[in-house]
Amino acid sequence: MMKRKFTKQETSWMYYDWASNAFSMIITTAIFPIFYKAQATAAGVEAADSTAYLGYTIAIFTFILAMIGPVLGTIADYEGYKKRFFVSFLLLGLISTFSLIFVPEGEWLLLLILFTLASLGLTGANLFYDAFIIDVTENKRMNKVSARGFGYGYIGGAIPFLISIAIILLAQEGIIPISSTTASKIAFLIAVIWWAIFSIPMIKNVKQIHGIKREPNPIRTSFRRLKETVTSIRQYKHLTIFLIAYFFYIDGVGTIISMSTAYGTDVGLSATVLLVVLFVTQIVAAPFAILYGRLADRFSAKLMLNIGVFIYIIVCIYGYFLETALDFWILAMLVATSQGGLQALSRSYFAKLIPKHKSNEFFGFYNIFGKFASVTGPVLMGVTTQLTGKSNAGVLSLIVLFIIGAIVLSFVPSDKKLLNEQNAKLNIS
C-alpha cells in the first residue's frame, strides 16, 4: 500500500517550524545569549548575575503569556480569529527582533526588554500555530506531522545559524572588516528575514477549519466560556493528568534549551566552540525528531515520551560533572536525541485529547502549563546558581522536574488505547 503524502496544508503548517526556528536558534539559544553576556560583562555585571538575569527575563515573558494565553485562545476559537492572533504575535516578534539591531553597546537592560517582547511574539504565535494542527491533519497522522514539523524546524534553524556563524567567525578573524558586535547584529537581521519569508506558506495556505460560530460581545462571552471550561476541566481526567506531567518535564526541557549557551560560557567554553556545538546539535536533532514520530506510530507516543524524559534525567546528572569541551559535546548530543521528539509528541498527544472546536482554548491551557513551567525552571536554575556560585549545580537542580514528570506521566493512558477507543465510538455511532 502506497504511503500517503503530506497535504499542502500539512506541509505549509510544518514549514512554520522551519521559519520560526531561526529565531529559536539565533536569538533564544545561541547568538543572542552570548551577545548579551558580552554586553553585560562589558557593563561590569558579574557572570553568575547576568546568567540569573537572563533566567529571570525568560520567566517574566513566559509568565505574561501564560496569563493571557487562555483568554486569547478562547476568543480565537471563534471562526476566523485564529489566524488574526497568529499574525499579530508574529508581527510583534519580527518588529522586536529587528529592533535588537539598533541597541547601543553596553545597554544590556534594553537588550533584555526587547528580548522579552520578541520572545513574547514568538511564543504567542506558537500557541496558535500549535492549535492549528487539528485543522491541518487527522488524529492518526498527528504524531508523524508534529514530529516532521520539528524535524523541519531543526534544519530550518541550522541553515541561517550556519550563515550567522560564518559571518561571526570571519569577523573575529578579521577576514571581513566588521566587529563581532556588528556580526551578531547581522545574525539578528538574518533571523528576522528567514522567519518572515518562510511564514508566508502558513499565512497563505493554512485555514481555520474547526471553530465556534461568532456571537455578539465575543470578548465577554469568551470569558464566560473560559470560566465554564475551568470549572469543568476535571471532567477531562486524562488531559488534566497529562498537563501536570507536561508542566514538570517540559519545564526542564525549556530551561536547558534557553540557558545552554549561558551555562557553557560560565564553565569556560569559548563562543566559537558553543556555536559549533549548537549547529551540530541542530543537524543531529532533525532525524531524531522524525524518528520519534515513527517510533510513536509503531509503539506509542507515551512510551517515547518516557524515553525522552529518562534521557533528560541523564543529561542533568552528566551536566553537573561537566568540565571540558568534550563533556559539553556529549551533553549536547544527548539533548539532540530527544528534545524535538519530546516536544513534538507532547503536542500531538495533547491534540488527541481535546475537543477540536475548542482547540485554541485548550491549547491556551497547554500554554499555561508549559509557560508557567518555564517560569519555575529558569528561576530554579538562577537561584541555585547564585546561591552556590556554580552553574552546574543549577543544571542538576532541574532533575527533580523530570523525575516528577515521569511519575505523573505513568498515570495517563497510551495514545494507542485512546485512538482505539475513539474508533470504537465512531463504529458504534
Report pLDDT digits (tens) over 232-268.
666 778 888 998 899 889 888 877 766 666 667 766 7
pLDDT bucket at 1, cuts 50 / 70 / 90? very low
Mean pLDDT (the chain) is 82
pLDDT bucket at 2, cuts 50 / 70 / 90? very low
Mean pLDDT of 88-95: 95
Count of Cβ atoms closer than 10 Å to residue 287 Cβ: 15
Residue 422's pLDDT is what?
A: 59
Residue 375's pLDDT is what?
A: 66
With 60 as the cut, is the pLDDT of residue 428 above it? Answer: no
Nearest to 284 by CA among 343, 330, 352, 250: 330
Higher pLDDT, 338 or 53: 338
Residue 410's pLDDT is what?
A: 92
With 90 as the cut, is the pLDDT of residue 186 above it? Answer: yes
Rounded-to-integer distance, Cα 301 and Cα 218, Å: 36
Mean pLDDT of 153-166: 89
**Residue 93 in grid coordinates:** 516578534
Residue 38's pLDDT is what?
A: 83
Residue type present at position 73: G
With 60 as the cut, is the pLDDT of residue 429 above it? Answer: no
Residue 420's pLDDT is what?
A: 66
Q: What percent of the chain has pLDDT over 70?
A: 86
pLDDT bucket at 60, cuts 50 / 70 / 90? confident
Q: What percent of the chain has pLDDT over 90?
A: 22
Residue in the structure block whose three cell numbers are 465510538: 425
Q: Dihedral of CA 263/264/266/272: which sign?
A: negative
With 70 as the cut, is the pLDDT of residue 302 above it? Answer: yes
DSSP-based three-state secondary structure for 83: helix
Burial class (CB in 10 A: 0-12, 13-18, 19+), 321: exposed
Mean pLDDT of 102-120: 89
Rounded-to-integer distance, Cα 364 and Cα 362, Å: 5
Rounded-to-integer distance, Cα 273 and Cα 332, Å: 12
Residue 225's pLDDT is what?
A: 65
Q: Over the range 230-250, which residues count as b (16 or more CB within 10 Å of their CB) and which as e? A: eeeeeebebbebbbbbbbbbb
In this predicted model, what pLDDT tens digit does every residue of 308-350 receive, in sequence order?
Answer: 999 999 988 888 887 777 888 888 898 889 888 898 899 888 8
Residue 232's pLDDT is what?
A: 63
Q: Which residues, other chains included, contact 69 with Cβ-Cβ below 8 Å and sequence gap of 6+?
A: 124, 127, 364, 365, 367, 368, 371
Q: Which residues, other chains included, contact 287 with Cβ-Cβ below 8 Å and sequence gap of 6+?
A: 151
With 70 as the cut, is the pLDDT of residue 164 above it? Answer: yes
Phi and psi angles of residue 369, each rounded to the nearest 5 degrees, phi first? -65, -40
Residue 180's pLDDT is what?
A: 84
Q: Which residues, other chains included, contact 11 with Cβ-Cβ below 8 Å and sequence gap of 6+?
A: 201
Distances in Å between the Cα of 424 and the Cα atoms of 37, 121, 283, 428 are 56, 41, 41, 6
> Are the beta carbons of 381 and 55 closer than 8 angstroms?
yes
pLDDT bucket at 101, cuts 50 / 70 / 90? very high
